[in-house]
Structure 1
Amino acid sequence: MILLKGFKFGMLLQLAVGPMCLLVFNTSANLGFLNGLVLVLAIALVDASYIALSGLGVAVLMRNERVQAVFKVLGCLVLCVFGLNTALGAMSITLLPDLSLFSESTSENLFLQGMLLTASNPMTIVFWSGVFSSQVADNNLKHGELRLFGVGCVLSTICFLSLVAAAGSLVSGFIPQYIIKILNIAVGLFLIICGLKLLLNRQKTEP
């Protein structure tokens, strides 16, 4: 039942549609369902890593203001560069022509892009640390139960984003090409906005 509880909690978090959700939809609409799944697996892997790190006490380090400042700047740069490249790509302009990680759309590159974008806000570790602390305080969960709770949260990410990927691939055949370009620009701008918000936001919040 703890696994199910983690799954339900994770699904509630998924309802707050974020940049990665839109990116999965956009990738599936442009490149197909399987490429969307590659992105989903990358996101889930980073989420699982952050959940594990929060359990190891890394969140204490992430609460340091200087550490936060460094990671917020790095995260902002990653999101803004990817966002700008995505938006310009809709107009056949490549911001980073010499970096295949950004410009090519192979499964390997999509996986690396998904990991880099998801990892761009390591403040997530602090968020999960708070979640686990509240679970221990409110429900007296043991160490093994917390692991099951975390697994349930990761499974919810995989399930929800897989459905988003399926939706993107299904509607791709019905969306005119100019709409796809507008969607690319919108996703790019959204990533840039998220990057700037990460840099300006002084509070420790979930991405």
Structure 2
Amino acid sequence: MNPALLEGLSMGLLLSALVGPVFFTLIQSSLSYGFRYAAVLALGILVSDSIYVVITFFGVKFLADATYFELVLGYVGGLILIGFGISSLLKKKVSRPNSGGLDFPQFKKRSAFFKGFSINGINPFVLLFWISIASIVQIKDTFGTAEVWYYYLGILGTVFSIDLLKAFIAKQLSHLVTPKMMGWLNKAVGLIMIGFGIRMLVFTYLQ
């Protein structure tokens, strides 16, 4: 196997092991709406990561020096996460997860994609991660154009595949989950997301 691809796979596994708001949203979405909804959400996450890859790879020095960009992203991201959390807390009716075998309305697909894209995209820690990855790539003298592609494809492919695996496993366990349990899960996810949002605001303020 190509060494750059192998290194990218290992970095992708490391990123996938991190537990953050995206993880909880992915699991909750799979339980609530089925695997296909969660897969579209994971696609939104992938596109968000891909955009960060392009931005950080071609402008890592500019982004690292422009602290105001990180501050704006931190405040806006924190508020959006808190908004998602409050929305999850206020959700009243919780139905049993669907079978995932039927197609769902187009607006559901768009909302799933946007939810994954935005929750991942507004997290400044994700930006910092990709800045660090771009920095690693820049200092690797042995990396040519092909190796850079292999490295990033290894990371993105691994993260996306494991996200799908998380959603699939959660869906397989959905028959064990009652509507009452899902209601508590929504509240737990809401509190966790609010916690991440507050933490993000505090972290940004203290910078």
- Alignment TM-score, normalising by the size of structure 1: 0.83
The change in CA–CA distance for 1:56 and 1:74 in structure 2 (over 3 A counts) is: same
Aligned to 1:87: 89
Of 58-67 and 157-166, the range deviating more from structure 2: 58-67
Q: Which residue of 2 aligns with 1:29?
A: 31
Moved runs in structure 1, 4+ residues, more than 3 A?
Answer: 135-140
**CA deviation string 1:133-189 (max 9, x = no partner):** 234435632233122211111101111110111011111111122111111111111
Q: Which residue of 2 aligns with 1:156?
A: 158
Distance in 2 separating the partners of 1:166 and 1:188: 22
- What residue identity is the alignment partner of 1:151? L
- Aligned to 2:143, which of 130, 141, 144? 141
How far residue 123 of structure 1 moved from its aligned partner, in angstroms, is 5.1
- What does the per-residue CA deviation read over 1:93-132, in whole Å, with 9 as the maximum and x for residues that have no partner? 9xxxxxxxxxx97111111111111111245333222223
CA distance in 1, matches of 2:73, 2:172: 37
Which of 71, 75, 78 pairs up with 2:77?
Answer: 75
- Which amino acid is 1:81 matched to? G
Return 5+ residue gaps in structure 1 as ranges: 94-103
Indicate yes or no: 2:176 matched with 1:174: yes
- Counterpart amino acid of residue 109 in structure 1: S
> Aligned to 2:55, which of 44, 53, 56?
53
Structure 2: gaps (5+ residues): 95-105
Deviates more, 1:113-122 or 1:75-84: 113-122
Among 113, 116, 119, the residue aligned to 2:115: 113
Contact 2:81 2:194 in 1 (8 A): yes
C-alpha separation between the residues in 2 aligned to 1:64 and 1:176? 48
Kept in 2: contact 1:3–1:148 (CA 8 A): yes
Name which of structure 1's ranges 130-139 and 184-193 shifts more when overlaid on structure 2: 130-139
- One-letter amino acid matched to 1:195: G
Percent identity of paired positions between Structure 1 and Structure 2: 26
Name the CA shift for 1:10/1:137 in 2 (closer, same or farther; >3 Å): same
Contact 1:82/1:191 (<8 A) preserved: yes
The letter for the 2-side match of 1:46 is S
Amino acid at match of 1:108: R
Pairwise CA RMSD: 2.3
Cα shift at 1:70 = 1.5
CA distance in structure 1 between the aligned counterparts of 2:154 and 2:30, rounded to whole angstroms: 24
Q: How many residues are paired up?
A: 192
Residue pair 2:9, 2:155 contacting (<8 A) in 1 also: yes
Q: Is 2:45–2:120's contact at 8 Å kept on the other side of the alignment?
A: yes
